[in-house]
Amino acid sequence: MMGRFQGPRTTISAGKEVVYEGQHGHAAYVLREGWVCSYKRLQDGARQVIDIQVPGDFLGLRSLLLRKSDHSFVALTDIEVSRIIAERLWDTLRTTPRLAAAVMWAMSRDQAMVVEHLVNVGRRDALARTAHFLLELGARMRLVGRDLPEGFECPLSQNTLADALGITAIHLNRVLRQLRESNLLVFRDGFVTFLDMERLIEITGFDLTYLDQEALVG
């Protein structure tokens, strides 16, 4: 159904920006393969990662309503995207209520994740913050069938993960060691392994509701 407003697939190499902050005439995409991060760059050169995008996510859909993009997207791995053709999108949303509901749900879920990330950075300590974020990524990969029984492949560097969590890479390294030594989870060689899901949920208060696709009515 969503193919109605998507153009041909395009491959973009790791490290390339898909959309950059301040770009006029920017496009939106559906991420078909690979991982992307959205971020804002600060005046001092630091960056805050807003979110990580995984296969099935929209890239820059909200920004189609703005004159210019208000943040950037960069490919973390080699990726494959389909460009959203705006005119077809608007026509399809007008004529296909179920698809319009699906797009609204996707945008609402993205907003719910931003709220959780704000709580993460503002109120959870570094250990709970890290564990919650990795639980969220694991749940998102499970929802798109990209997980394994023990965990999920995670190509994030420690610098990228630290930028998403609002802590330094050195601090993150200590937290990951603490999680490993506490037999809670292991993040090693591009793979996250959950060792004690029950305790992780208890420590973080993680609740799948804000990601649950069952919330989509139709």
Per-domain boundaries in the chain = 2-95, 106-215
Name which CATH class applies to 106-215: mainly alpha
- Stronger pLDDT, 161 or 98, i.e. the higher one: 161
Fold of 2-95: Jelly Rolls (2.60.120)
pTM: 0.89
Unique residue bearing structure tokens 């060691």: 177
138 and 147 Cβ atoms separated by less than 8 Å:
yes
CA distances from 56 to 73, 100, 140, 145, 200 (A): 15, 16, 10, 11, 26
pLDDT bin (cut points 50, 70, 90) of residue 116 is very high
